[in-house]
Amino acid sequence: MATAPYLLAALSDISKNVSTWVAEVATLTTPDRIHWCEGSDADIAALRGELVARGELRELNQQTNPGCYLYRSDPTDVARVEHLTFVCTAAQDDAGANNNWMAPVEARARMRGLFQGCMRGRTLYVVPYCMGPLDSPYARCGVEITDSAYVVLNMAIMTRMGRAALERIAGDETFVRGLHSTGDLDPARRYIMHYPEELAIESFGSGYGGNALLGKKCHALRIASWQARTEGWLAEHMMIVGLESPAGETHYVAAAFPSACGKTNLAMLIPPDSMPGWKVYTIGDDIAWLHPGEDGRLWAINPESGYFGVAPGTSRKTNRNACEMIRRDTLYTNVAVTANNEPWWQGCDENAPATDWLGRLYDPANGPAAHPNSRFTVSAQHNPAYTAAVEDPRGVPISALIFGGRRRELAPLVYEARSWRHGVLVAASVASETTAAAEGAVGVVRRDPMAMKPFCGYDFGDYFQHWLRIGARLRRAPRIFHVNWFRQDAAGKFLWPGYGENLRVLAWILDRCAGRGGAHEGSIGLLPRPQDLQLAGLNLSDAVLRDLTEVPAAALRAELVGVRSYLDSLGPRVPSALYEELEAALQRL
């Protein structure tokens, strides 16, 4: 990778392919100005200053929250819009029943109409970025063109953004082309289009993170999952965490949960007092790129460099590290503000809201003070559990893969899959109650295979097949587990304390990986017996423990039948191996 020749170059001279594309986009969108993002602190500070001066960004209390700002989005633009998100492959079958599809020619034509002249009076920002450590062979680059300075500020935190990324692009000239305009924010003219075959993204009409920060869901999951299948790796909706036992052994695990189901909290877990000597290191909180290594293990990098986390529910009790992490240098979106100009959200330990997320005087009659999907954007380096391993170009070796969802009933606290193939079925069967991270009703159970339902850039059948193929290549494959922190009793009370106490479950998982943890064969998979879990001090009754670790056969049968009809709904490419696993599971009942 070359660096020196570019040191003095204007950004627009570094890559011919990028500058040619920028010129084409400028002809179409007719901005007043073009700003190439250097990515330096001075560049970012100047941009922030402009937004504050225009009243689009609000400075929060700089004594208590230095470097913190608040952005209020358009009230109709607060979550990902899955029904307006399309995967535009030449053949519809390649996008699969799991995606909305539009023919590339049609999508391009529709978007061309929307982009025509859309940046008149605005600045076109060129945002070169790298997903993953700049010196990693697993990192991939992109360029986002946007007319939103708020998007630039977020991308500067969430990715390795600026000159260095552009230099890497100039070195190999492949990059994902992402074109974004907030347009007029009209929900009727809002589209998020993906062209995996062209490594391109077009997003119009939204400024919300998951729709507009194109490095995140659009590139690092939808386009990357496609690239990953072509190149033999996996792009997954997973957090990655390092766990060091009191004996000094460190293992890394990756876990996939649907949006707003606690990946960030688990990635930043604080060991409970009852487990002294454990240490936790966060590698990532949302996305993992997983590569089979030459040693037969699976290696993971986090393509992102920051967190775009859900604010409500974040407190010293639920996530002390996050509270410390977001005290400074944090960009808040749609939170409420206290009388002292400090950020506030539901579940905050301190103070009370004075203005709500829309900037109105807070009145409980208007609903929650902070939007349920309000967010913080912050650099991963501010996390007290940050580790330099994040920057290791080889990534970290993964001992266990964990899947889970938010299930009031049925799914036990934890179980282990019998094999990789069974694990792929378990992962493909993930279901969860919906949350505020996407538009639509909250609390409805929906299937969300690998927590990738909104993010897999191609047909789920092909995707499951790819998972099976990757497993076959791994001589030392991670074990696969399923967890559920959200079991409730009939009165709606959570059965498991969750948060830091989840380390007890992770400790059993690591014991299993080390070949020393006990388990018994249940019909769903391998389950811990009470003596296999560290439960001291939790005061769980035998009845609760039974509910947490047993699955009634009738309920499991109904679930498996539901999984079979879900797989049927995904079309003919679902691998027969998964149906065989399913039949075997039914036989075991």
Among 51, 165, 437, 524, interactor with ligand OXD by CB under 6 A: 437
Kindly state the smallest distance separating residue 79's Cβ from ligand OXD, in Å: 8
Smallest gap, in angstroms, from Cβ of residue 356 to ligand OXD? 21
Annotation says 261 is catalytic? yes
Q: Which does 210 bind (CB under 5 to 8 A by kind): Mn ion, ligand OXD, none?
A: ligand OXD
> Does an H or E element contain 57, and which?
strand 57-59
Query: From Mn ion, ligand OXD, none, which one binds at residue 395 (CB under 5 to 8 Å depending on kind)?
Result: none
Figure out which of the listed residues 132, 142, 178, 210 binds ligand OXD, where binding follows CB under 6 A.
210
Q: Which option in Mn ion, ligand OXD, none does residue 506 bind, with CB closer than 5 to 8 A by kind? A: none
3-state secondary structure at position 38: coil
435 lies in the site for Mn ion, by CB under 5 A = no
The count of chain residues that interact with Mn ion, using the rule CB under 5 A, is 2
Place of tokens 């100047």: 46
Residue 556 binding target from ligand OXD, Mn ion, none, CB below 5 to 8 Å by type: none
Q: Which of 94, 286, 416, 459 binds ligand OXD (CB under 6 A)?
A: 286
Task: Report which DSSP code applies to 362.
Answer: P
Told to check if 259 binds Mn ion by CB under 5 A, we report: yes
CA distance 341 to 68: 11
Active-site residue (options: 130, 218, 261, 456):
261
CA 292, chain centre distance (Å): 21
Q: Which of 402, 406, 411 is nearest to 445 (CA)?
A: 406
Tell me the CA distances in angstroms from 448 to 156, 190, 428, 432, one per residue in order. Answer: 30, 24, 7, 7
Positions 268 through 297 that interact with Mn ion (CB under 5 A): 286
Which 293-322 positions form the footprint of ligand OXD (CB under 6 A)? 308
The Cα-based distances of 268 to 200, 318, 551 in angstroms read: 33, 10, 30
Residue 91 three-state SS: coil
User: Closest Cα partner for 259 from 467, 486, 497, 452?
Assistant: 452
Closest residue to ligand OXD in the complex (CB): 259
Number of residues binding to ligand OXD, judged by CB under 6 A: 7
Q: Sign (positive/negative) of CA torsion 413, 419, 425, 427?
A: positive
418 binds, among ligand OXD, Mn ion, none (CB under 5 to 8 A by kind): none
Q: CB–CB of 401/236 below 8 Å?
A: no
Q: Is 94 in the site for Mn ion (CB under 5 A)?
A: no
Residues found in the chain: 589
Nearer residue to ligand OXD within complex by CB, 210 or 412: 210
Q: Does 159 bind Mn ion (CB under 5 A)?
A: no
User: CB-wise, 202 or 448, nearer to ligand OXD?
Assistant: 448
**Which three-class secondary structure string do you get for 505-541?**
HHHHHHHHHCCCCCCEECCCCEECCHHHCCCCCCCCC
Catalytic residues: 261
Residues that bind ligand OXD (CB under 6 A): 80, 209-210, 259, 286, 308, 437
Residues that bind Mn ion (CB under 5 A): 259, 286
